[in-house]
Amino acid sequence: MTWRRRLLLGIPALLLLAQLVPVQRTNPPVERAVTAPPEVMVILRRACFDCHSHETVWDGWQTRIAPASWLVAHDVREGRDELNFSRWGSGKHAERVGRNIAEEVREGDMPPRLYVLAHPGARLSAADRAALLAWAATLPGGAAGR
């Protein structure tokens, strides 16, 4: 058997075996929910909550099929660690949350492009960005908090 044939047979076998590696898809209870104006809450729920809250919607093939599911679970853990709307006011960046949110939104880093590809409804319009920036300015470390 040639090395190309082994490779062509080996890749599907590895992908099949990868499905046996468990991925934790958890949604712990909401401890302290974020409060924001209704129009901002709509944006947060649509574009941010999947990675930055305990209200992640674990649907879609990418949450079930490895290795994509590994990446999704990793991104959710990392997102919750950086900013968690279900543990509002706590965490390592609580004192400058307004500045951090504004910076990520202004620079177009949030939501990430890969997430928007899988969830087109999460794309932020100019009006969405303006609403988030105005709200972020009222938060600790935001422009209004300086």
pLDDT tens for the 146 residues of the chain, in order: 788 888 787 888 878 777 878 888 899 999 999 999 999 999 999 999 999 999 999 988 889 999 999 999 999 999 999 999 999 987 767 788 999 999 999 999 999 999 999 999 999 999 999 999 999 999 988 876 44
Q: Are 48 and 80 in contact (CB under 8 A)?
A: no
Give the pLDDT of residue 71.
93
3-state helix, strand, coil split of the chain in percent (to 5) is 60, 0, 40
| pTM, full prediction | 0.84
Give the pLDDT of residue 144.
60
Q: Are 36 and 44 in contact (CB under 8 A)?
A: yes
Instruction: Compute the residue count for the chain.
Output: 146
Question: Which amino acid belongs to residue 62?
Answer: Q
Q: How far apart are alpha carbons 96 and 100 in whole angstroms?
A: 6
Residue 92 structure tokens: 């390592």
Give the pLDDT of residue 146.
46
